[in-house]
């Protein structure tokens, strides 16, 4: 049996990725920042084939624990960067673990024999730090795909800036290391929504769905979404997991970065669907998924289904 290491494998997206690998006969190693906090990963023990699951403590800022984590893996998935919209210290909570953690990871895997494939779970922010607002001079109805120029702004949310910078680190590493013994691929999902596998209350994605469903605005950022009825490009969490699995197990994708996305709805229609009501407008396609569908064979489910899964 081949072994996969999943950094962030107990989180909102990571839990579904862990499930996908377990269901496909992999030995799975999942990271935990604090192994004494079983509430963070205990739900994984209820998955089928959980006897093939191992939980390992990991700090991405510590190269020695990174080395211990990846040394016996055939595949490594890096989805362990923080997703925080509400923070106190951007440098220590977002920039350092996201950017320095990525640099540490790349240094470690470049000296680890036996690795065949690495997949980074990036973000649409690696393409457009203004998301869900349009990139640069584009408007809300202009489409965006992997042929567009990446856009970043220092006015963007620090989370988005950190994800953009981390992706630049990965791209530079690939460019500077032409003769790697393993492939690196990246998936960049838009707003990832759906039902959480755990009862954890620290999931930003679950919290966002709760706020929009109940039209709650705890801060100016969320209030601005309502005031402007901002259109959101959405992708189902299970589709992200399936795409990650395909990217990790398909050869010939080195250097590719896939936008993972389904349909776009305005916040008012998202709120309606989260309350089991019909949207007023039909969905639009803003971020395009043609490359992921072609290379990874993913059929992205309708957003109605995604939001219904959360509501139920």
Instruction: Supply the DSSP string of 243-296, one letter for each residue.
Output: HHHHHHH-SS-TT-EEEE---EEEHHHHHHHHTT---SS--B--B--HHHHHHH
Domain definitions of the chain by residue range: 3-191+233-261+284-300
Angstrom distance (rounded) from CA 113 to CA 270: 46
With CA atoms as reference, report the closest residue to 7 among 90, 89, 93, 68. Answer: 68
Angstrom distance (rounded) from CA 203 to CA 196: 8
Per-residue pLDDT of the chain (312 residues; tens, 9 = 90+): 999 999 999 999 999 999 999 999 999 999 998 899 898 899 999 999 999 999 999 989 899 999 999 999 999 999 978 776 677 787 888 889 899 999 999 999 999 999 999 999 999 999 999 999 999 999 999 999 999 999 999 999 999 999 999 999 999 999 999 999 999 999 999 999 999 998 876 678 889 999 999 999 998 889 999 999 999 999 999 999 999 999 999 999 999 999 999 999 999 999 999 999 999 999 999 999 999 999 999 999 999 999 999 988
Angstrom distance (rounded) from CA 173 to CA 154: 23
With CA atoms as reference, report the closest residue to 45 among 245, 198, 194. Answer: 198
Angstrom distance (rounded) from CA 81 to CA 83: 7
Radius of gyration (Cα) for the chain, nearest Å?
19
Q: What is the pLDDT of residue 202?
A: 67
DSSP notation for 199-220? --S--HHHHHHHHHHHT--SSH
Q: What is the pLDDT of residue 62?
A: 92
Q: What is the pLDDT of residue 180?
A: 96
What is the homologous superfamily of the domain 3-191+233-261+284-300 according to CATH?
NAD(P)-binding Rossmann-like Domain (3.40.50.720)
| Residue reference for tokens 């595949």 | 75
């Amino acid at each position: 049996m081949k072994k996969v290491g999943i950094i962030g494998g107990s989180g909102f997206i990571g839990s579904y990725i862990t499930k996908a690998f377990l269901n496909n006969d992999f030995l799975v190693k999942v990271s935990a920042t604090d192994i004494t906090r079983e509430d963070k990963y205990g739900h994984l023990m209820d998955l089928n084939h959980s006897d093939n699951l191992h939980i390992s403590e990991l700090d991405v800022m510590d190269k020695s624990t990174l080395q211990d984590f990846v040394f016996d893996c055939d595949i490594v998935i890096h989805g362990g960067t923080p997703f925080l919209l509400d923070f106190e210290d951007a440098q220590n909570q977002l920039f350092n673990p996201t950017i320095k953690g990525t640099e540490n990871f790349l240094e470690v895997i470049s000296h680890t024999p036996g690795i065949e494939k690495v997949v980074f779970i990036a973000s649409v922010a690696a393409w457009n730090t203004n998301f869900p607002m349009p990139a640069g001079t584009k408007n809300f109805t202009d489409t965006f795909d992997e042929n567009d120029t990446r856009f970043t702004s220092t006015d963007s949310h620090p989370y988005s800036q950190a994800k953009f910078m981390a992706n630049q680190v990965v791209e530079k590493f690939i460019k500077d290391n032409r003769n790697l013994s393993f492939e690196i691929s990246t998936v960049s999902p838009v707003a990832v929504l759906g039902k959480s596998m755990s009862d954890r209350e620290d999931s930003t994605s679950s919290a966002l769905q709760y706020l929009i469903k109940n039209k709650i605005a705890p801060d100016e950022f969320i209030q601005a979404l309502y005031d402007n009825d901002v259109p959101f490009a959405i992708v189902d969490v299970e589709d992200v997991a399936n795409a990650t699995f395909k990217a990790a197990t398909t050869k010939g994708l080195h250097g590719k970065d896939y936008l993972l996305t389904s349909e776009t709805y305005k916040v008012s229609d998202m709120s309606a669907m989260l309350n089991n009501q019909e949207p007023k407008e039909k969905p639009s396609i803003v971020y395009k998924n043609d490359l992921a569908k072609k290379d990874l064979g993913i059929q992205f489910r309708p957003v109605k289904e995604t939001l219904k899964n959360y509501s139920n």
